[in-house]
Amino acid sequence: MNIKVGLVGLPNVGKSTLFNALTKSSVPAENYPFCTIDPHVAITHVPDNRMNKLQEIYGSKKLIPSMISFVDIAGLVKGAAAGQGLGSQFLSNIREADLILHVVRCFEDKSILREQENIDPLGDFEIIVNELMLKDLESIEKRLVKIESQLKGKSASGPERKMFEDEKNLLINIQEAINAVDVKKVRSLFIQANLETVPLLSTKNFLIVANISENDIDKPYENKFVKQLQETFGKETIIPACIRTEYELSQLDEQESAEMMEMLGLQETALTKIIQKSFENLGMITFFTCGPQEIHAWPIEKGITIRQASGEIHSDLQRGFICAEVFSYNDLVQLGSIAKLKEFGKFRTEGQDYIMQDGDIINVRFNV
């Protein structure tokens, strides 16, 4: 499964530096607007300590972790939907993302150029969201024209007509919420309706990375801007990070990085939190296939069946699914061996309708 996270924000908030740190890449990160002209894409792995333990148990030669893609999208500015800055072409890049990662600046530094006079992360966030909503208005207006055409035609049957009318009412309500600049209502209407309609940028899941200074590393939640963001969006949505330091850590080897983290009093990097929270925010869980050759982590959407999950490994497994042997990572670690799992009834055979759980280890039996 290809998971794509789009990094967005105003120019010079630290997006490209964060992208470089997340992916150990080296795209330009200069001190002037629109350094990123084409969206850069890179793939990084999702940290999961369970894989190292499984490698110990199975003696596997190789680890294949879950992967996540990050897209560094050029800095948006007020008026982007109307062609300001580098224009609305970049908004289409956001449409392809599963999750939006807003990067906002939460520190003062006169040496770093900024179009706005004052540091205002909430205002910066609103500029981006307003541009997304303006783009959504275009999509809604075009879709409403098509719906009206369908409703005026004689071909729409009773159920079809009802479907078009429901979609029309939803889009009109969302249109009103956008005009009122109420992004929370837009998201609420879209989610609760559970109707298939045009994809809307302002309804996408998001997290906010609060870019703090080195002085706030040991007390990130005392930063006044971070507090403000938390009060508005909730603690779980905000990830404080000194992006400059995270980038420096990403360029060191493991030992040097560990020494620097100890010196800074960090238990884990903000990058780890960003990657893991991005994964969790999308409602993803992980199952494993294990053997002496490799431990493979497979990301899937929470709530899917084991037959659907087997298709992530190979389409033949889903097509010819018979049953699967299943046990959990936690049970394996607790009991220590397959023999013990069988002895305590933790090694099961499941049919195609079994709902996958995070940490399941499976072996699929199939016939094609």
Whether residue 265 lies inside any domain: the answer is no
Say if CB 249 and CB 264 are below 8 A apart.
no
Q: How many residues are there in the chain?
A: 368
Asked, for residue 312, whether it belongs to a domain, the answer is yes
DSSP reduced 3-state for 143: helix
Question: At which residue do the structure tokens 């309706």 appear?
Answer: 193
Q: Are 29 and 17 in contact (CB under 8 A)?
A: yes
Structural domain of 336: 303-366
DSSP type of residue 3: -
Residue 324 falls inside a structural domain = yes
Number of DSSP helices (H) and strands (E) in the chain, helices first: 14, 12
- Sheet containing strand 348-350, edge to edge, reads 62-64, 294-301, 284-290, 360-366, 321-328, 348-350
- The span from the CA of 322 to the CA of 367, in Å, is 7
Whether residue 120 is contained in a domain is answered as no
> 38 lies in a domain?
no
One-letter amino acid at 208 equals: I
**Alpha helices (H) in the chain, listed in sequence order:** 15-23, 50-58, 89-95, 121-152, 158-179, 183-193, 224-233, 243-250, 254-264, 270-281, 306-313, 315-319, 329-335, 338-343
Structural domain contains residue 338: yes
Write out the chain's pLDDT in tens, 368 residues. Answer: 778 898 888 888 888 888 888 877 444 444 433 344 455 777 888 889 999 999 999 999 999 999 888 888 765 655 554 555 444 556 667 888 899 999 999 988 765 555 556 789 999 898 888 888 888 998 999 999 999 888 887 666 778 888 899 999 999 999 999 998 888 899 899 988 888 899 898 898 899 999 999 999 989 999 999 999 999 999 999 999 999 999 999 888 889 989 999 999 888 888 889 988 998 898 899 999 999 999 999 999 999 999 999 999 999 999 999 999 999 999 999 999 999 999 999 999 999 999 999 999 999 999 98
The answer to whether position 172 is within a domain reads no
CATH code for position 312: 3.10.20.30
Quote the number of domains for the chain. Answer: 1
In a domain, 334, yes or no: yes
